[in-house]
Amino acid sequence: MALRKKIEQNMEVVGRDGAHVGIVEQIEGTDEIKLAKDDPDAGGQERYIPLTWLVHTEIKVHLKLTGDEAKGWWSSLRSPSKPDSPLHRPR
């Protein structure tokens, strides 16, 4: 994924509604973004979101989900695999 190469540490991640989701800590493996746990929205936990949620990257990482949707589906474990998650649903 070409967009993956544009993601940098400390970039803000926002939902399609512009709502803050988190701050990039690093890319995990080949398919996830690890968000910084010291971000207030992370609640002190490491959070992971799949790269499949990514729409585009400029100054910020923009997701195809709203901020609330992303926070509802993010995971505190690597490789989330919830059967009904946006990871498994076409959008």
pLDDT of residue 30: 85
pLDDT number for residue 64: 96
Q: What pLDDT shows up at residue 1?
A: 53
Average model confidence (pLDDT) for the chain? Answer: 85
Provide the pairing of β-strand 54-57 with 61-63. Answer: antiparallel
| pTM for the full predicted model | 0.81
E runs forming strands in the chain: 12-14, 20-28, 32-35, 47-50, 54-57, 61-63
Which pLDDT score, from 0 to 100, does residue 68 have? Answer: 94
What stretches in the chain show pLDDT beneath 50?
A: 80-91
Query: With left for phi above 0 and alpha for psi between -120 and 50, is residue 2 left, alpha or beta?
Result: alpha
